[in-house]
Amino acid sequence: MELSRRTFTTLSVLTATAAAGFSRPASAATGTATPPTADGAAHSVTFDKYSMLVDGERVVLWSGEVHPFRLPSPSLWRDVLQKLRAHGYNAISIYVSWNFHSPAPGVYDFTGVRDLDLFLRTAAECGLYVIARPGPYINAEVDAGGFPGWLTVTPGTARTSNATYLSHVDEYLTAVNEIISRHQYTSGDGTVVLYQLENEYASYVTSATGKDYMAHLYAKVRADGIDVPLFHNDKGRNGYWVPGAFSTGDESGRYLYAFDGYPSPSATPYDWGYYGGTVGSQASPDTPGFIAESGGGWFDPWGGAPFGGKGYAAVRASRDAAFERRQYLTHLANGIKIHNVYMTYGGTSWGWLPAPVVYTSYDYGAALDEGRGLTEKLVPMHQIGQLLASAPELAKLDKAADVTVSGLKVYHLTHPDTGAHVYVVRNDTSTPVTSPLPFTLAEGAGVTAPVTVGGKDAKLIAAGLKVGRTTVAYSTVQPMLGVSAGRRDIVVFAGRAGEAAQAAFSCDGEPKAVVLDGAATASCADGLLTVSTELAGLVRVSVDDSLLVLFADDAASARLWRHDTPSGTVLVRGPALLRTARLEGATAHLEGDTVTEADLEVWAPRGVREVMWNGRPVRVRTTDSGSLAATRALPGVAPVRLPALTGWRHRAENPESEPGFDDADWTVADKASSYSTTAVPAGGPVLFADDYGFHYGDVWYRGSFDDASGLDSVGLAYITGTQGLLMAWLDGKPLGTHRMPVPTSAQSTTGTWTATATFAVPDELRTTGGHVLSVLVRRMQHDEDGGARDSHKAARGLVSSSLTDVTWRIQGLRTADSDPVRGPLNCGGLYGERHGWHLPGAEASGAEGWEPVSFPVSAQRQGVDWYRTSFRLAVDHDVDASIGITLTDDATRAYRVQLFVNGWNMGQYINDVGPQHTFAVPNGILRTRGRNTLALAVLCDGTAPAGPGAVELTLLGSAAGGVRVAPVESPELPSGR
């Protein structure tokens, strides 16, 4: 029967009371929804074979990976974490990158943008559990996989039980654990509930070297006061480092097995646990299924052959919302109860953070994009995360009898105590399939109903599952959440627009069902009230005024926000984001974001009559849905106007190439031996930049020699990592630029990836008498050491030259002396960097040398040029504008640019390689109300005309709302450590 407001009375064959009609259980039992806080109370964090247990209550961890070091603006940590919590995540997982915190042995810095303590406090304030992953090795597409530059010049093989290596590790762990241990949920001083040892350690799995290493890390971490369960992330489901694989002293039950998986988007999702699959699927039967990294996107390589990065839009398109549903619901079906998606907010590998395999953006195609924008990939995460919080039975499921349905893969599970049945239904074909699915109802009876799953998609449906306080007898559409507000229970179902949806509830008599919004039918038979609809916007059906059933299509579900407050739960509909909700007397204080004009509707506990939105009252009426509502009451975001970048000034660089340049204070490169994995050439000297303390960015060499008569050419062997280059000058005359050929994968992992640049010597310079060969090497970064092969110790810089009787001097930015505020990875050793040309105050101390210039620039010279300008922004206080800088030019021009915003190195642009053109700049570093400086350090090959071409500000997204952003400290002038 079609129901509408006008016709509902035809069905009102009433039942006297709600109790006689729709069955409503007495207990709430929604413990997993309660967000954790740093409440100062002791908590137990344990696990059994099904799930984690926090204070004895089951919790499915629904986690997203976020790297604090990839968002260098501490205020914005809150923005990202609030967005995740609002979208149903109850946990985050973080790496700590050792190199980010340690410019020199024994020096550790956790201040400013490196303030781990503040990050962990913010996570607790946002109600998120934390999985801490401090390494010491992390991989993560960062320089040397997280190892500090100075570790590349120490003896002893890293990632083994070598005593020297372990002494450095211990020093780091002492520093980082001092902070992490203060934020454990066990003491109630924070929300850290799990801690990872090492990262994807697949070396020496069966030998003492590996076992001793893991045992050492375990003992050290425990000695540092970490008392939450520990784990390691096996690189695949290999069964490596399961409990018992290495010594954990006399402890048991406090270490779990986890593994990582990065499935190809074109592959059928793998089975991991209950349903078998690969080798180690039963490797650890007594610990819960735990995916420490489930690939939610992928990293993108530099553009051009042979790897050809295409940009992150392509990654996001190939691993879209349907990919997430297929993968992650398959994981849940396989018994995974600790689930972390790598990445959920990727952010930016700013400065010299990126490993050679990636460029600056680490957007990763993640659910939250690099500019902190909400993407459609958050919608399934929201739907599943909210469901896990509303349906505690999902934390304890066993495999049940096989169910076979034509055209669909069905995983059938059941709760051993309550008898709830869960079905993960997946369509591995490209076209939608509708098939009758036989549900087993809680009492053992059966009912068959048609279930539709879109092409390459999946859904989780259930029978007899309690969602909030409502037991869903069965549904063909995925339940999303259940809350109680006032006198009503609310249950929400969500799915794709246009899909047929059916939900049934047990009833005694004949309940009164009223369609409040949209089109739906209801029928009552055999003790079941069945409501059917087609998903379109938000369909509302009220049952006996005690249950409100909401059917949301994806778009409508993305506007529904559940928030738990100490005095009850609120459900909010309308805004683009609900950040916080606080109940005070009769008023609900809500804070959040809007992009376009939006409704505001609030279901709140009894007695709440007024609503404040972002500090302003909203005039609400009560509705027949039991809510307080106001139509189109929330304004959208005001337009954001960005200025054109004009007023450029230019200054040329590289005095180091001039023969008369005074290099007396440069270091003489005269070492005879090195701990590098690159062989020192016979007779030396060592030219590797790391051996002289220059670990990041550009490095200069000046070789003085007497006799160039008869010298036809010079050969320079060098190593840089992907996309590096070398430029040479003899007596100030350019000899040319050599670009490091992009290595094959094999070369890049063996550390033998050396190129030789050979330059002809001009006739007029083939003379006796003093000569100077000046060489600039753009090093990219150190290799990651995924295999415990010390590949981070492969040399960077010059390796050898064909010259004899030469004295080499070397100069760069000594990492131990790096900017104490912006950190060790902000700068390299260009003349301008060494003299603060990238800093806001560069011109204040002397504007001489800076000449006006307008873009596009077209010059063909080998060397380094700097361009600076300043601009003012005046973004409204209540607008969160995410802004980037975009560079575009004719792609044949061979030049590259480092972008410094207020002195912060926001990344590297390579005009003829790509694919990245837009560089996100986090607010805080960017003053959205005030003056900013932009400095571009441009390296021109000399092989083609160079730019810059067009340089513009780009609006990546905007919203009314946002968080309060404190300016990130940005010293105007150089200040050494």
Q: By C-beta, is 349 or 800 nearer to ligand GAL? A: 349
User: What's the gap between Cα 654 and its chain centre?
Assistant: 38
Q: What is each CA distance from 516 to 180, 304, 471, 812, in whole angstroms?
A: 50, 56, 21, 70
Q: Which amino acid is at 405?
A: V
Least distance in angstroms from the C-beta of 949 to ligand GAL: 32
Q: Does 140 bind ligand GAL (CB under 6 A)?
A: yes
Find the binding residues for ligand GAL in span 554-613 (CB under 6 A): none
**Site for ligand GAL (CB under 6 A): which residue of 79, 109, 198, 293?**
293
- Residue in 65, 198, 293, 370 annotated catalytic: 293
Phi/psi at 45 (5° precision): -125, 105
The Cα–Cα gap between 531 and 501 comes to 8
489 binds ligand GAL (CB under 6 A): no
Q: How far is the CB of 368 from ligand GAL (least distance, A)?
A: 16
Q: How far apart (Å, rounded) are the C-alpha atoms in residues 847 and 612?
A: 51
Q: Which stretch in 137-145, 170-178, 326-334, 806-814 sits in contact with ligand GAL by CB under 6 A?
A: 137-145
Of the candidate spans 16-24, 133-141, 608-616, 829-837, the one that interacts with ligand GAL by CB under 6 A turns out to be 133-141
Site string for ligand GAL, 238-277 (x = CB under 6 A): ----------------------x-----------------
Q: Give the residue, chosen from 51, 139, 506, 530, that forms a contact with ligand GAL under the rule CB under 6 A.
A: 139
Q: Facing residues of 361 across strands?
A: 348
Closest CA to 760 of 736, 738, 778, 727: 736
Is residue 584 among the annotated active site residues?
Answer: no
In this structure, what token pair is assigned to residue 659? 């023969």
| 359 lies in the binding site for ligand GAL (CB under 6 A) | no
Q: 526: alpha, beta or left, given left = phi > 0 and alpha = psi -120 to 50?
A: left
Closer of 234 and 393 to ligand GAL (Cβ): 234
Q: What is the CA radius of gyration of the chain?
A: 31
Question: SS3 for 333?
Answer: helix
Q: Which strand (E) or helix (H) includes residue 628?
A: strand 628-634
Omega of the bond leading into 971 within 30 degrees of 0 (cis): no
Q: Give yes or no for a contact between 863 and 737, defined as CB atoms under 8 angstroms apart.
A: no
Q: Does 299 bind ligand GAL (CB under 6 A)?
A: yes
Could you say which of 198, 200, 601, 833 is catalytic?
200
Return d(Cα 484, Cα 26) in angstroms, integer. Answer: 12
Q: Which neighbouring-strand residues pair with 905?
A: 900
Question: How would you class 23 by CB atoms within 10 Å of its CB: exposed for 0-12, middle for 13-18, buried for 19 or more?
Answer: middle
Piece in contact with ligand GAL (CB under 6 A), picked from 135-143, 474-482, 801-809, 937-945: 135-143
Residues that contact ligand GAL, how many (by CB under 6 A)? 9
- Under 8 Å between Cβ of 962 and 599: no
284 binding ligand GAL? (CB under 6 A): no
Cβ proximity to ligand GAL: between 293 and 889 the closer is: 293
CB of 198 to ligand GAL, least distance (A): 10
Comparison of 130 and 343: residue with beta carbon closer to ligand GAL:
343
Q: Per-residue x/- mask for ligand GAL, residues 170 to 209, rule CB under 6 A?
A: -----------------------------xx---------
Give catalytic status of residue 200 as yes or no.
Answer: yes
Stretch that binds ligand GAL, among 139-147, 411-419, 545-553, 650-658 (CB under 6 A): 139-147
Partners of 2 in the beta sheet?
Answer: 521
The least distance separating ligand GAL from the CB of residue 299, rounded to whole angstroms, comes to 5
60: phi then psi, degrees, rounded to nearest 5: -90, 120
- Which of 51, 58, 102, 141 is the binder for ligand GAL (CB under 6 A)? 141
Whose CB is nearest to ligand GAL? 139
Residue with tokens 């030019």: 889
> CB of 347: closest distance to ligand GAL in angstroms?
13
Task: Report in angstroms how near the CB of residue 159 gets to ligand GAL at its nearest.
Answer: 13
State the minimum distance, in angstroms, from the CB of residue 178 to ligand GAL: 24
* Contact call for residues 560 and 49 (beta carbons, < 8 A): no
Report the candidate in 895, 898, 678, 693 with the shortest Cα–Cα distance to residue 798: 678
Using the minimum distance from each CB to ligand GAL, give the nearer residue, 248 or 294: 294
**Of 78-86, 136-144, 854-862, 906-914, which part binds ligand GAL (CB under 6 A)?**
136-144
Query: Cβ of residue 262: shortest distance to ligand GAL, in angstroms?
Result: 6
> Looking at beta carbons only, is 37 or 318 nearer to ligand GAL?
318
Q: How far is the CB of 145 from ligand GAL (least distance, A)?
A: 8
Q: Using CA atoms, how far apart are residues 953 and 489, in angstroms rounded to an integer?
A: 48
Of 200 and 783, which has the nearer Cβ to ligand GAL? 200
Tokens of 934: 């932009």
User: Is 444 exposed, middle or buried (CB count within 10 Å of its CB: 0-12, 13-18, 19+)?
Assistant: exposed
H helix count then E strand count, the chain: 11, 54
Whole-angstrom distance, CA of residue 509 vs CA of residue 496: 32
Amino acid identity for residue 334 in this structure:
N
Question: Distance (Å, rounded) from C-alpha 466 to C-alpha 32?
Answer: 13
CA distance 520 to 526: 20
Q: Which is nearer to ligand GAL, 77 or 259 (CB)?
A: 259
Give the dihedral sign, CA 589/591/596/601: negative
Cβ 95 to ligand GAL, closest distance in Å? 7
**Which listed range, 134-142, 572-580, 773-781, 936-944, lies at the site for ligand GAL (CB under 6 A)?**
134-142
CB of 199 to ligand GAL, least distance (A): 5
Where along the sequence are the contacts to ligand GAL (CB under 6 A)?
A: 138-141, 199-200, 260, 293, 299
Q: Which residues are catalytic?
A: 200, 293
